[in-house]
Amino acid sequence: MNTLATSLQTYFTTFAHTQRDLSANTIASYRDTWRMLLKHLTVTLGVPTDALDFDALTTTNVTGFLDHLEHARGNSTKTRNVRLTAIRAVLGRALPDHPEHAATITQVLAIPPKRTTRPVIEFLTPTEVNALLAAPDHQTWTGRRDQQALRLELDRASDRAGIGHVTPHQLRHTFATAMVNAGVSLQSLMALLGHVSAEMSLRYGRLFDTTIRAEYERALDLAKARLGPLPAGRARIPLTDGGDWHDAPAIKTRLAGGYCLRAPAQGVCPYANICEHCPSFRTDRASLSVLGAQRADATALAADAQARGWTLEAERHRRLVTRLDVLLAEAEGR
C-alpha cells in the first residue's frame, strides 16, 4: 500500500470520525469525490488505481478533474467547489505525515475556489400579479381548479397571462416586494417571511421606481415645508461700509461667475459650488484665470469664516480650495 492509499484509509476510517466528527453525509461526499478523482486519474494518466500516489496529484491534474466535473458532467460551480474542499481536506491532513510530498500538496491546497454568481430571483410587478390571478377562467371547472391549485398549475396560468415561466419562489419575492412598497416595516417583513436576518429580508423585497419617486417627492415636500415660502422679491443683504462683499457678515460663496450671499440664519445653500464638486465637471486652459481667482477668494473666505467662529463654513471653503487645486491641475494639463 503506497503513501496515498495509507493516507486515504487513515482519513476515512479514523480521522473523519474520531477527530473531525464529520457527519455521515459529509464523509460520504468526501469519499465519492476521491472515488471519482482516482477513476479520472486512472483514465487520464493510464495507470492502475493502486499505482497512484501523491506525485499524481499535481495542480494540473486536480484542476483538470475539476474542469471535467464542470464541463463533462455538467456540475455547477458550487459542486465543483465542494469537490475541491473534499480534496483539500484529505491532503491537509496528510501533509504533516508526508513532508516529502509537501511541494505537491501545498500547490493543490493553494487552488482557489471558483467564484460563483448568486442568481437574482426576480419579482412580479402588480400588473403581472393581477394578470396571473385573472388568467384562470372562473366560469369553467378547469379555471376554478387553476385558481384553487395555483401552486400546482402555476406554469399553465403564467403562460395564459403571457408572463412566461413563474416559480412559487418568485411569488414569495413578489409578496415581499409588495409589502415593502406598501410601507411595511423591516421588522414586520422579517416576521412575515420567517427570516432571522434583516439582510435576507432586504434581498427579498425591492422598491418599485414609482415608490422611489414617491419617496423623493415626499422628502422634497418636507424640505419645502421646513424652509417656508420663498421671498417674493430679491432679498439684498447689506454690505459693509466699503461695499466689499468679501467682508459682509454673511454666508458667502465664491462662484466661477460671481458670488452668493445668504444670511447666517439661512445657512449654507445646498447647491453651493455643486458644479465644481460634480465628478462630471470638466475644465481647460481657457478657465485657468477664472479658477485661480475663485481659489484665491475661497482661501480668503475660509480665513474670514474661521475668524467669525464658523468652523463648518471654514471647512466648506477649504474643501472647495482642495477641489479647485485638482481642477487647476487638470486645466494645466490640457
pLDDT of residue 235: 53
Per-residue pLDDT of the chain (334 residues; tens, 9 = 90+): 689 999 999 999 888 888 888 888 899 999 999 999 999 999 999 999 989 999 999 999 999 999 999 999 999 898 999 999 999 999 999 998 898 999 999 999 999 998 877 655 555 665 666 676 677 777 887 777 666 666 566 666 667 767 676 666 777 777 777 777 777 888 887 887 777 788 777 777 766 666 667 776 777 777 777 767 766 655 555 555 556 788 888 888 888 778 888 887 777 777 788 888 888 888 888 888 998 999 999 999 999 999 988 888 899 999 999 999 999 998 888 6
Helix, strand and coil content of the chain, in percent to the nearest 5, comes to 65, 5, 30
> What's the pTM?
0.40
Give the Cα separation of 320 and 295 in Å (integer).
Answer: 8
pLDDT of residue 8: 92
Per DSSP, which regions of the chain are E strands?
251-255, 258-262
Assess contact for 166 and 172: CB atoms under 8 A. no
For residue 138, give Cα distances in angstroms to 112, 141, 157: 56, 7, 12
Single out the residue of 313, 320, 314 nearest to residue 296, CA to CA.
320
Single out the residue of 17, 46, 21, 41 nearest to residue 4, CA to CA.
41
What secondary structure does DSSP assign to 202-260, as a single string? Answer: HHH----HHHHHHHHHHHHHHHHHHH-PPPSS-------TT--GGGSSSEEEEETTEEE
pLDDT of residue 186: 80
Local structure of 136: helix, strand or coil: coil
pLDDT of residue 242: 56
**Which residues, at least 6 apart from 275, have a Cβ–Cβ distance to it below 8 Å?**
256, 281
Map grid coordinates 491537509 to a residue: 92
Give the Cα separation of 241 and 56 in Å (integer).
Answer: 91
Q: Report the C-alpha dihedral over residues 241, 242, 243, 249, rounded to 10 degrees.
A: -60
Single out the residue of 86, 109, 71 nearest to residue 33, CA to CA.
86
